[in-house]
């Protein structure tokens, strides 16, 4: 694998962005051209990614000096390069980003048809793919951070894509700021790493960490502090507790964006980061923290998903929940399993978002599933593909989610039974809320408003073909790559990446202990029971318009977390800044002193001026008085 | 000779405009623009001819001046002043073009002030004689006084008097310091011999403070900052651009040129205090910027925050920190300069700077909105644009240098979050939403305005993606400063050695000196 291949892979979407971004004016009105350029750019990257994947299969890994492109920031005692690190883990991410990304670009050609910002949309989407590629290709933490913030920017731009809407721009701003809180942690984590290792390169850091030849800036807890700070970044980017609040709001963006950025790729960056840093997390034993945050988020978000009626929001909370599973995976040392779930999730969640977009497309942008029902007949392809996605996430036997989720749960059991139990309960909730959505939306009586009902139709081929293509891996990729659990093809492929971490962690995790079959059977039963409950409850009835019990109300209002944040952080900071800092401290005290000095000088000057009366007698009198005082002083006192 | 030409060519333009009175507005603009562009082109010779492998002063000139006073016309530049010279020669033509149609009365006076200001600023960055430095430092106040006082807004007199008096209060202290140094320097104002004597001055602490307070006012460092919002709000657009772009840098330049290398012990003594003020400035400036209703005031307070970062970097005693601080001077000049240009452009259309008056501007002015977005991102330090490189180096140096507690770094890094808050909130209120009738009718940028902004954007991206030409040329000169502030504690160091150094060794040495 050559560095040139990776450069082409990386630059192609950037070129697409520049063409659509700079010359959008000339492309305006020609949707085919701007959409085509954007899609083609990602297709080129996808083809390069396949070549790179094949290269890795053959054992070619791009790392170290061979991957360095140029020296970015350097000076006496510090060098940060722009360079690539391409191994099995990277190529998995590359294939997901460019593969799912390509399909979503194709889908967008149809979905965004007629939008005034069509060119701008494709420019942003290409820029996103570029930034995401920077994130996974970098051979050091700083370059990862460049991509990390870059995808955050694109997320901001795309959430607020329809900028006339206040709610959309609010959501974009919130996403950016909450992510910045996470990035603040990431930044400090990088500083800690640099202080300890004198470098931010992966190979240098992991090598020195294993050999224990680094500066203990914080004594024995150096790595603990570094890994936890990096994890703060992951919590922000991957929407875990307590920083998950931006992701549900991010649904204000166009639906393909939700599929690509807020389900399949960007939000998984945190999982990728931890998998990449596996050695550090093993040495620091901070995986437990990661796993607990993950499993609690998974459960918490799933409970909220139970009560929502907006189909995109259900999918959003579901994403938060599934990301939690991935963190459980990488937290308990089952790195390959976590990344495997990342991949299967990219397929089935991307699929479901696109299918939801197809529903919106048919329903004049309606999102409230209480106003749907019985769509199965009118939108058969959307229904079937959505159903496959839902079965996959619910852990229906032999579909993709069944394999990846089960591997994680199995490993969790070996780490801490409580994590397993909470994870299992969450699996039940997942099956239930997902099929609540399916039954209410696609089955039962139609509750579609009559004005809309006549327009409900299946989406055009440019939209449904990507659905069908995504449905295939959602269904079978688990069987193909996941068969055999920890000895599966996927594990085999990524083995070399996690080898060092596995050796360090050996004994700490009991993941491979025992047969996986009993776990699979339990998981399958739990998933099926969840589906069954949903069928009993919702196949005939619609959700109540208003929440009944107090608990229901609490959950339906998302535990009032947004309101709490607003009351505890946002408003006080605003008020203190405005009234105390600006009005009192700045204008009142500091500037008051400055102006006070000026006024005092003017008053003193004004007073002293009066002495200059111009009356000669007065001057003589004061002169005489002065002489008398001087004489008196010298004669009598000294 | 080259350096003198660059410094005084603008003054020649002033003379030309003065002599050719009554030649008409377009001729005045033409002359000013031609002179400024020529100055810039000639100054590129400084870049191409610059030797990055040495820390010595380059393009040196030395002529007898007022021999009775012991002062000479000594000029020269190193890798730090090079960039500030280029920033000045770059921003001046940009400003002239930006002011093309906005000056209604006294155009020739305006252009003369601008060009005279350029000479003053360039002189400050090139002088290697303290007396000469002081002359340029003070002379540059006069054209600025006119720019704000004549072509400013409603409260221009208050603002300009406050600006001038505040600065002069600081300069008076500095003058005393300069004189005291003169007597400790064999009755000479020459700067370079002073570097040899660094650390041996009597009353070094007082001398340090005399210089530092003058520079702190100029920066402005919290709590000396209240002249800045007033000056910015009242100044005409190009006044704000020059003020933010170059004038504030004279403060931070002074710190790195005089305070640190001449009085390293005193600098170490006062580091905790100064760094505290810098960090307060970062957070305080950001929080107050957040609640400003006036666009220009918001950008002004954001400058207080950004320059807090620069000061923090300069006191890190670490290569990355100081180099980052110097780079961030350039970055702030570019991005805040561009922000003031943009605010000026929309003010010319809307005759308001109040955020509430806007909304939905992205609809009517999409190109403007795009450029504003890029500049905003540069200002909040998005990787890939210039601001990030500087901020990252400053924070890295602060964390790694060990000159002060890591708590400061954590607090300073919250500025990264706050910057996103106040800039994006402002951007949302101005650009997004549905425009009302007036805002919907605003015309987008014209060609002249694009020509004004494009070069600035070019550098914003360039420094962000490939800062090497900038960093490599300042590296040697920064190393000299670092060696001075670290001297005796350790040789020029890699990252591991620094930890072995007692943290406050400087302070102890200083105490010893005092007890003797």
Rounded distance, CA B312 to CA B271, Å?
9
Residue B463 is inside which H or E element, if any? helix B447-465
ipTM value, please give it. 0.90
| Contact with chain B for residue A236, Cβ under 8 A | no
Whether B382 and A590 lie within 8 Å, measured CB to CB? no
Q: What is the pLDDT of residues A124-141, one digit of tens each?
A: 999 999 999 999 999 999
Region A514-539: mean pLDDT is 86
- Residue A454 pLDDT greater than 90, yes or no: no
- Residue A587 pLDDT greater than 70, yes or no: yes
B175, part of any domain: no
Chain B residue with the nearest C-alpha to that of A72: B466
Whether A577 and B494 lie within 8 Å, measured CB to CB? no
Q: What is the pLDDT of residues B281-326, one digit of tens each?
A: 999 999 999 999 999 999 999 999 999 999 999 999 899 999 999 9
Overall domain count for chain B: 1
Q: What is the pLDDT of residues B412-428, one digit of tens each?
A: 999 999 999 999 999 99
Contact assessment for residue B229 and residue B300, using Cβ atoms and an 8 Å cutoff: yes
Query: Both tokens of residue A520?
Result: 């699979």
CB atoms closer than 10 angstroms to residue A390: 29
How many CB pairs below 8 A link A and B?
A: 142
Q: Higher confidence at residue A234 or residue A216? A: A234
Contact assessment for residue A124 and residue A217, using Cβ atoms and an 8 Å cutoff: no
Reference B8, options B192, B139, B168, B171; nearest CA is: B139
- Candidates B80, B228, B291, B374: best to mutate against A (most CBs of A within 10 A) is B291
Identify all chain A residues contacting B396, using CB atoms and an 8 Å cutoff: 78, 190-191, 194
| Nearest-by-Cβ selection for A75 from B226, B428, B471 | B471
B397, part of any domain: yes
Query: Both tokens of residue A81?
Result: 């390069």
Query: Both tokens of residue A276?
Result: 């990449």
> What is the least distance, in Å, from the CA of B108 to any CA of chain A?
33
CB atoms closer than 10 angstroms to residue B104: 8
Rounded distance, CA A101 to CA B158, Å?
58
> What is the least distance, in Å, from the CA of A120 to any CA of chain B?
11
Poorest-pLDDT segment among A38-42, A97-101, A371-375: A371-375
Q: What is the pLDDT of residues B232-260, one digit of tens each?
A: 999 999 999 999 999 999 999 999 999 99
Rounded distance, CA A247 to CA A240, Å?
9
Q: Output the pLDDT for position A512.
A: 53
Give me the sign of the Cα torsion angle B177, B181, B184, B187: negative
Rounded distance, CA A355 to CA A389, Å?
9
> What is the least distance, in Å, from the CA of B463 to any CA of chain A?
10
Concatenating the DSSP letter of every residue in B412-446 gives: HHHHHHHHHHHHHHHHHHHHSS---HHHHT-----
Q: Output the pLDDT for position A545.
A: 66
Q: What percent of chain A has pLDDT over 90?
A: 48
Identify all chain B residues contacting A218, using CB atoms and an 8 Å cutoff: none
pLDDT band at residue B492 under the 50/70/90 scheme: very low
Whether A72 and B466 lie within 8 Å, measured CB to CB? yes
Whether A169 and B494 lie within 8 Å, measured CB to CB? no
Identify all chain A residues contacting B362, using CB atoms and an 8 Å cutoff: 163
pTM given for the model: 0.91
> What is the least distance, in Å, from the CA of A610 to any CA of chain B?
24
Chain A residue with the nearest C-alpha to that of B475: A75
pLDDT band at residue A505 under the 50/70/90 scheme: confident
Chain A residue with the nearest C-alpha to that of B480: A76
pLDDT band at residue B488 under the 50/70/90 scheme: very low
Q: What percent of chain A has pLDDT over 70?
A: 98
Average of per-residue pLDDT values in chain B: 89
B431, part of any domain: yes
Q: Which of residues 171-210 of A touch B (CB under 8 A)?
A: 173, 176-177, 180-181, 183-184, 187-188, 190-192, 194-195, 198
- Residue A627 pLDDT greater than 50, yes or no: yes
Q: What is the pLDDT of residues B354-405, one digit of tens each?
A: 999 998 899 899 999 999 999 999 999 999 999 999 999 999 999 988 888 8
Q: Higher confidence at residue A275 or residue A27? A: A275
Rounded distance, CA A31 to CA A115, Å?
9
Q: What is the pLDDT of residues B65-119, one digit of tens each?
A: 888 888 899 999 999 999 999 999 999 999 999 999 888 888 989 999 999 999 9
> What is the least distance, in Å, from the CA of B398 to any CA of chain A?
9
Reference B406, options B482, B492, B318; nearest CA is: B318
Which residues are registered as beta bridge partners of A548?
none
DSSP A457: -
Q: What is the pLDDT of residues B196-232, one digit of tens each?
A: 888 888 888 999 999 999 999 999 998 999 999 999 9
CA A634 to chain centre: 84
> What is the least distance, in Å, from the CA of A175 to any CA of chain B?
11
> What is the least distance, in Å, from the CA of B248 to any CA of chain A?
19
Chain B residue with the nearest C-alpha to that of A170: B428
B407, part of any domain: yes
Identify all chain B residues contacting A188, using CB atoms and an 8 Å cutoff: 399, 409-410, 413
Query: Both tokens of residue B492?
Result: 């020029």
B242, part of any domain: no
pLDDT band at residue A504 under the 50/70/90 scheme: confident
Query: Both tokens of residue A484?
Result: 């055999």
B492, part of any domain: yes
Identify all chain B residues contacting A205, using CB atoms and an 8 Å cutoff: none
Whether B410 and A590 lie within 8 Å, measured CB to CB? no
Identify all chain A residues contacting B467, using CB atoms and an 8 Å cutoff: 72-73
Q: What is the pLDDT of residues A596-613, one digit of tens each?
A: 888 998 999 888 888 787
Backbone φ, ψ for residue A426 (5° rounding): -60, -35
Q: Output the pLDDT for position B504.
A: 41
CB atoms closer than 10 angstroms to residue A572: 11
B330, part of any domain: yes
Reference A440, options A448, A452, A449; nearest CA is: A448
Q: Output the pLDDT for position A513.
A: 57
Contact assessment for residue A86 and residue A8, using Cβ atoms and an 8 Å cutoff: no
Identify all chain B residues contacting A71, using CB atoms and an 8 Å cutoff: 468
Chain A residue with the nearest C-alpha to that of B381: A149
- Residue A591 pLDDT greater than 90, yes or no: no
Chain A residue with the nearest C-alpha to that of B415: A184
The parent domain of residue B329 ranges over 263-516
Poorest-pLDDT segment among A161-170, A184-193, A246-255, A540-549: A540-549
Whether A77 and B417 lie within 8 Å, measured CB to CB? no
B468, part of any domain: yes
Contact assessment for residue A191 and residue A183, using Cβ atoms and an 8 Å cutoff: no
Whether B392 and A192 lie within 8 Å, measured CB to CB? no
Q: Output the pLDDT for position B490.
A: 43
Q: What is the pLDDT of residues A69-95, one digit of tens each?
A: 899 998 888 999 999 999 889 999 999
Query: Both tokens of residue A291?
Result: 């796993």
């Amino acid at each position: 694998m050559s560095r040139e291949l990776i450069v082409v892979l990386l630059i192609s979407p950037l070129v697409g962005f520049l063409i659509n971004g700079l010359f959008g004016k000339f492309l305006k009105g020609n949707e085919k051209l701007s959409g085509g350029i954007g899609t083609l750019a990602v297709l080129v990257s996808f083809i390069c990614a396949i070549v790179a994947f094949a290269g890795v299969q053959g054992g070619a890994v791009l790392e170290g000096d061979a991957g360095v492109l140029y020296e970015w920031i350097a000076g006496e005692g510090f060098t940060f390069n722009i360079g690539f690190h391409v191994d099995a883990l990277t190529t998995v991410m590359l294939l997901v980003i460019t593969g799912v990304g390509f399909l979503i670009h194709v889908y967008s050609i149809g979905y965004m048809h007629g939008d005034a910002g069509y060119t701008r949309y494709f420019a942003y989407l290409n820029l996103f793919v570029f930034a995401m590629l920077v994130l996974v290709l970098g051979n050091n933490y700083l370059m990862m951070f460049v991509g990390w913030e870059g995808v955050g920017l694109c997320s901001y731009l795309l959430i607020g894509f329809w900028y006339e809407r206040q709610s959309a721009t609010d959501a974009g701003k919130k996403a950016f700021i909450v992510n910045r809180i996470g990035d603040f942690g990431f930044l400090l984590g990088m500083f800690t790493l640099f202080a300890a290792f004198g470098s931010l390169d992966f190979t240098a850091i992991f090598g020195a960490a294993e050999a224990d030849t680094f500066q203990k800036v914080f004594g024995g807890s150096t790595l603990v502090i570094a890994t936890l700070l990096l994890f703060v970044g992951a919590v922000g980017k991957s929407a875990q507790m307590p920083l998950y609040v931006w992701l549900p709001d991010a649904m204000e963006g166009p639906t393909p964006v939700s599929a690509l950025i807020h389900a399949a790729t960007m939000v998984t960056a945190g999982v990728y980061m931890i998998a990449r840093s596996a050695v550090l997390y093993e040495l620091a034993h901070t995986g437990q923290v990661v796993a607990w945050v993950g499993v609690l988020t998974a459960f918490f978000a799933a409970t909220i998903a139970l009560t929502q009626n907006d189909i995109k929001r259900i999918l959003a909370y579901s994403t938060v929940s599934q990301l939690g599973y991935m963190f459980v995976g990488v937290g308990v040392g089952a790195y390959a399993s976590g990344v495997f779930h990342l991949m299967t999730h990219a397929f089935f969640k991307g699929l479901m978002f696109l299918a939801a977009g197809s529903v919106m497309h048919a329903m004049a942008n309606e999102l409230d599933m209480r106003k749907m029902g019985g769509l199965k007949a009118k939108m058969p392809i959307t229904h079937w593909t959505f159903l496959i996605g839902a079965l996959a996430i619910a852990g229906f036997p032999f579909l993709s989610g069944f394999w990846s989720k089960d591997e994680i749960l199995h490993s969790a059991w070996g780490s801490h039974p409580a994590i397993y139990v909470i994870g299992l309960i969450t699996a039940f909730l997942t099956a239930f809320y997902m099929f609540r959505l399916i039954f209410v939306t696609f089955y039962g009586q139609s509750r579609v408003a009559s004005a809309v009902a006549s327009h409900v139709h299946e989406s055009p081929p440019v939209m449904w073909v990507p659905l069908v293509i995504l449905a295939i891996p959602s269904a079978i990729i688990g069987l193909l790559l996941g068969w055999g659990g920890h000895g599966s093809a996927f594990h085999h492929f990524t083995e070399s990446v996690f080898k060092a971490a596995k050796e360090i962690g050996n004994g700490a995790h009991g993941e491979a202990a025992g047969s996986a079959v009993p776990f699979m059977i339990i998981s399958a039963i739990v998933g099926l029971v969840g589906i069954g409950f949903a069928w009993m409850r919702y196949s005939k009835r619609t959700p109540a318009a208003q929440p009944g019990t107090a608990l229901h109300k609490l959950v339906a209002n998302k535990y009032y977390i947004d309101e709490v944040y607003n009351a505890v952080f946002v408003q006080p900071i605003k008020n203190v800044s405005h009234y105390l800092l600006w009005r009192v401290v700045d204008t009142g005290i500091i500037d008051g002193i400055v102006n006070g000095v000026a006024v005092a000088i003017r008053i003193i000057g004004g007073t002293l001026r009066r002495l200059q009366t111009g009356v000669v007698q007065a001057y003589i009198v004061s002169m005489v008085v002065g002489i008398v005082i001087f004489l008196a002083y010298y004669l009598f006192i000294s | 000779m080259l350096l003198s030409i660059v410094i005084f060519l603008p003054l020649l333009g002033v003379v030309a405009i003065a002599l050719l009175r009554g030649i008409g507005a377009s001729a005045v603009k033409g002359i000013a623009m031609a002179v400024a562009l020529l100055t810039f082109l000639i100054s590129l010779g400084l870049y191409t001819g610059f030797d990055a492998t040495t820390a010595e002063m380059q393009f040196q000139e030395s002529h007898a001046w007022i021999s009775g006073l012991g002062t000479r016309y000594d000029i020269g530049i190193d890798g730090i002043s090079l960039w500030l010279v280029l920033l000045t020669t770059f921003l001046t033509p940009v400003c002239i073009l930006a002011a093309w149609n906005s000056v209604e009365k006294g155009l020739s006076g305006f252009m003369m002030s601008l060009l005279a200001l350029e000479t003053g600023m360039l002189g400050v960055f090139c002088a290697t004689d303290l007396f000469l430095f002081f002359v340029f430092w003070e002379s540059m106040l006069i054209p600025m006084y006119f720019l704000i006082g004549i072509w400013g807004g409603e409260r221009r007199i208050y603002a300009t008097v406050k600006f001038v008096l505040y600065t002069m209060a600081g300069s008076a202290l500095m003058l005393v310091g300069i004189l005291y140094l003169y007597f400790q320097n064999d009755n000479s104002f020459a700067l370079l011999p002073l570097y040899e004597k660094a650390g041996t001055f009597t009353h070094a602490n007082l001398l340090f403070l005399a210089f530092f307070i003058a520079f702190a006012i100029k920066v402005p460092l919290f709590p000396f900052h209240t002249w800045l919002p007033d000056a910015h709000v009242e100044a005409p657009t190009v006044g704000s651009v020059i003020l933010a772009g170059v004038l504030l840098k004279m403060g931070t330049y002074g710190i790195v040129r005089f305070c640190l290398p001449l009085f390293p012990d005193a600098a170490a003594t006062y580091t905790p205090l100064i760094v505290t003020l810098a960090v307060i400035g970062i957070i305080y400036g950001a929080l107050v910027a957040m609640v400003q209703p006036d666009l220009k005031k918001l950008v002004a307070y954001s400058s207080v925050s950004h320059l807090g970062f620069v000061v923090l970097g300069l006191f890190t005693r670490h290569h990355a920190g100081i180099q980052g601080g110097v780079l961030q001077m350039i970055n702030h000049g570019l991005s805040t300069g561009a922000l003031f240009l943009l605010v000026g452009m929309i003010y010319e259309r809307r005759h308001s700077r109040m955020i509430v008056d806007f909304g939905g501007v992205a609809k009517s002015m999409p190109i403007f909105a795009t450029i504003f977005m890029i500049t905003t991102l540069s200002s909040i330090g998005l990787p890939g644009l210039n601001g990030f490189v500087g901020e990252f180096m400053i924070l890295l140096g602060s964390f790694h240098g060990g000159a002060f507690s890591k708590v400061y770094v954590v607090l300073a890094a919250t500025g990264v979050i706050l910057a996103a808050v106040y800039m994006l909130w402002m951007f949302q209120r101005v650009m997004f939403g549905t425009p009302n009738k007036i805002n919907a009718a605003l015309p987008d940028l014209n060609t002249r305005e694009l020509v004004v902004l494009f070069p600035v954007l070019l550098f914003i991206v360039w420094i962000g993606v490939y800062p090497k030409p900038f960093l490599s040329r300042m590296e040697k000169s920064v190393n000299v400063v670092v060696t001075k502030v670290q001297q005796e504690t350790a040789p020029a160091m890699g990252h591991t050695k620094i930890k072995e150094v007692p943290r406050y060794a400087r302070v102890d040495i200083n105490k010893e000196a005092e007890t003797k």
